[in-house]
Amino acid sequence: MELEIATAVEWVYVCQADDIPQNGGGCVKVGDEQIALYNFTRRGEWYATQNLCPHKQQMVLSRGMIGSSGDACEPKVACPFHKKAFSLLSGECLTGEDYQIKTYPVKVEGDRVFIGLE
C-alpha cells in the first residue's frame, strides 16, 4: 500500500472578489509567478491556474474564455489566441495535445480571495 505524503498549503491573499469579473478571469502576481484567477459565477466556483499558455509560451490564460466541457461538464479555460482548452480541475489539455498547466486551490472568505501555494 502506498502512502501519500500530505503537503502543507500556504493560503495567500490575492485580491477582493469583485476585482475579478463575473464569469471571467484576471491575473494576480504572487512573488515572481503570474497566476490566472477565474470567477466562474455560473457554477458558483473559483479556479486558479498558471497564466502561461504552454502552447506558444504567452501569459494569456487569464483572458481566456471559461466554460464547461463534455458530458461531465468539466470546467475549462480556452486560450484566447489559439483556443487550446485546459481543465480547470486537473490542468490537462482537453484538445488532445500533450500540454499541461498547473492548477491551484482557491478559497473565498467574505470578499477576500486566497490562492493555496505548496
14-41 pLDDT tens trace: 999 999 999 999 999 999 999 999 999 9
Domain assignment of residue 59, given as a range: 15-117
Is residue 9 a part of any domain in this protein?
A: no
Q: How many domains does the chain have?
A: 1
62-115 pLDDT tens trace: 999 999 987 779 999 999 999 999 999 999 999 889 999 999 999 999 999 999
Please state, in angstroms and as integers, the Cα–Cα distance from residue 112 to each residue in 10, 37, 80, 83, 115, following that order: 15, 13, 27, 31, 10
CA neighbours within 13 Å on the CB side: how many for 23? Answer: 4
Q: What is the CATH number of the domain that holds 23?
A: 2.102.10.10
Total-model pTM: 0.90
Is residue 41 a part of any domain in this protein?
A: yes
pLDDT at 3 over 80: no
What pLDDT is attached to residue 5? 62
